[in-house]
């Protein structure tokens, strides 16, 4: 039987949770900085034709996971407790979701592009060939552009199938909002690491914080509880509006092309926030350089500039400038003993090491750091 052509990389069991009574949601096209006026059908989004191949193997594999997770999501939305087995399925689904999107394919392409830009100058120098940095970037771009995206998607699915248990050790926490709604996007899973400021977002890294909204009221969070403290170690945490907005802003930064919500005004608030950061604030700085100091006069001047140069301003897309500045949640904090080491590029370690085999390199971070890592592993039964 031929595979279904329309293959969703964000499953419908998530998409439909963000819809209204007509099975529609509002759409924010972030690459155009435009919110669609009318709600649109959810089934028409977050899919690519034959993304996982035409044989149906991976599409069926994903469908199996979606069938397992849909009733568990329903339990979460009802506030029901989950069994250990159900929690494991949730963690594995989050890992699968992290690896299955178009944005995940872009991530792999960017890694390969970076490798090309580092290797090509070395090879050119060895061969006595002169090549400019711009030519290197162009070559890397064209090489990556010609990659078969379906092949990359299949490689990602193969990886995740072989490493399906690698989020099992993380603590699952349910984040709940009673007022401000969560927004979702075409890349719902966001990964952070507050314990290591130089990256550290590989699936095995210590210090991971993983979030994925599943409805306007609920967001899933996985954390390395050997690195972080969270409010009373509760199964469910009530978030204030400030924290919900921070997670929504993360969706904007992490997504590829679209965000969606049952609530149009929430999308408008996100749009306004990033316009203020990357359009209004630079214009205010420019006004100050011109000698204006009164805040009211500065705001009037900014409005005047935006009205006068409307067509040019509309071409300024905040998504192109947005950077991830996520610094955690108010009810989640880094354990005090790890706060001293996050700035050190050598401090990163993975969660699956051996307490009896701590590499000597960690002594360069601090004399007590190896003992801290050893204690971390012992507490995890390693």
* Domain endpoint, select from 246, 262, 278: 262
- Structural domain for 269, as ranges: 265-320
Whole-model pTM: value is: 0.92
* Same domain, residue pair 201 and 282: no
DSSP 304-364: HHHHHTHHHHHT--GGGT--------TTEEE-GGGTTSTT-TT---BTT--TT---GGGGG
* Domain endpoint, select from 219, 234, 262: 262
* Domain endpoint, select from 228, 262, 296: 262
Number of domains in the chain: 2
* Same domain, residue pair 269 and 257: no
Can you say whether residue 177 is alpha, beta or left, with left for phi > 0 and alpha for psi between -120 and 50 degrees? Answer: beta
* Same domain, residue pair 63 and 202: yes
* Same domain, residue pair 61 and 194: yes
Question: Residue 178 CA to chain centroid, in angstroms?
Answer: 23
**Taking each helix axis from N to C terminus, what angle separates 84-99 and 57-77, rounded to the nearest 10 degrees?**
130
Question: ∠ at Cα 380 (379, 382), nearest 5°?
Answer: 105
3 close to 59: Cβ distance less than 8 angstroms = yes
* Same domain, residue pair 291 and 183: no
* Same domain, residue pair 168 and 256: yes
* Same domain, residue pair 244 and 274: no
Q: From the first residue on, what is the mean pLDDT of each consecutive set of 10 residues in the chain (382 residues)?
A: 83 97 97 96 96 94 96 96 97 98 94 88 86 86 88 96 96 95 98 87 93 98 94 87 97 97 97 92 88 86 86 86 90 91 89 92 92 93 83
Residue 64 placed within a domain? yes
Q: Return the structure tokens found at 337.
A: 């003993």
Residue 76 placed within a domain? yes
Residue 360 placed within a domain? no
Residue 274 placed within a domain? yes
Residue 352 placed within a domain? no
Question: ∠ at Cα 98 (94, 102), nearest 5°?
Answer: 140
* Same domain, residue pair 185 and 297: no
* Same domain, residue pair 195 and 179: yes
* Same domain, residue pair 255 and 269: no
- Which residue spans within 141-217 are E strands per DSSP? 171-176, 184-185, 190-193, 208-213
* Same domain, residue pair 210 and 256: yes
* Same domain, residue pair 179 and 300: no
Residue 130 placed within a domain? no
């Amino acid at each position: 039987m031929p595979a279904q052509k329309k293959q969703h990389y964000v499953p419908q069991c998530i998409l439909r949770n963000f819809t209204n009574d007509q099975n529609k949601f509002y759409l924010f096209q972030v690459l155009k900085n435009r919110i669609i006026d009318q709600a649109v059908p959810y089934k028409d989004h977050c899919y690519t034709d034959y993304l996982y191949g035409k044989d149906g193997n991976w599409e069926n594999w994903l469908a199996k996971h979606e069938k397992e997770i849909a009733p568990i999501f329903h339990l979460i939305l009802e506030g029901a407790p989950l069994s250990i087995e159900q929690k494991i399925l949730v963690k594995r689904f989050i890992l699968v979701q992290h690896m299955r999107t178009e944005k995940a394919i872009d991530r792999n392409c960017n890694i390969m592009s970076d490798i090309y830009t580092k290797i090509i100058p070395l090879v050119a120098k060895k061969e006595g060939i002169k090549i400019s940095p711009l030519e290197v970037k162009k070559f890397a771009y064209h090489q990556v552009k010609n990659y078969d995206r379906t092949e990359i998607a299949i490689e990602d699915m193969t990886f995740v199938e072989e490493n399906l248990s690698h989020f099992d050790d993380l603590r699952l926490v349910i984040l709940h909002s009673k007022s401000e709604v969560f927004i979702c996007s075409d890349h719902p899973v966001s990964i952070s690491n507050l314990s290591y400021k130089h990256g550290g977002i590989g699936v095995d890294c210590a210090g991971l914080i993983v979030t994925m909204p599943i409805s306007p009221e609920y967001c899933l969070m996985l954390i390395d509880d050997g690195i972080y403290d969270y409010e009373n170690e509760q199964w469910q945490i009530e978030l204030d509006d400030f924290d919900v907005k921070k997670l929504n802003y993360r969706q904007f930064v992490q997504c590829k092309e679209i965000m969606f919500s049952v609530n149009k005004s929430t999308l408008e608030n996100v749009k306004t926030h990033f316009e203020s950061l990357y359009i209004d604030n630079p214009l205010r700085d420019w006004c100050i350089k011109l000698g204006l100091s009164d805040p009211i006069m500065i705001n009037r001047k900014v409005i005047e500039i935006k009205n006068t140069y409307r067509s040019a301003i509309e071409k300024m897309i905040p998504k192109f400038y947005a950077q991830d500045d996520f610094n955690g949640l108010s009810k989640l904090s880094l354990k005090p003993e790890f706060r001293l080491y996050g700035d050190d590029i050598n401090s990163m370690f993975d969660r699956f090491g051996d307490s009896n085999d701590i590499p000597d390199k960690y002594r360069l971070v601090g004399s007590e750091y190896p003992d801290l890592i050893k204690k971390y592993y012992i507490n995890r039964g390693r």
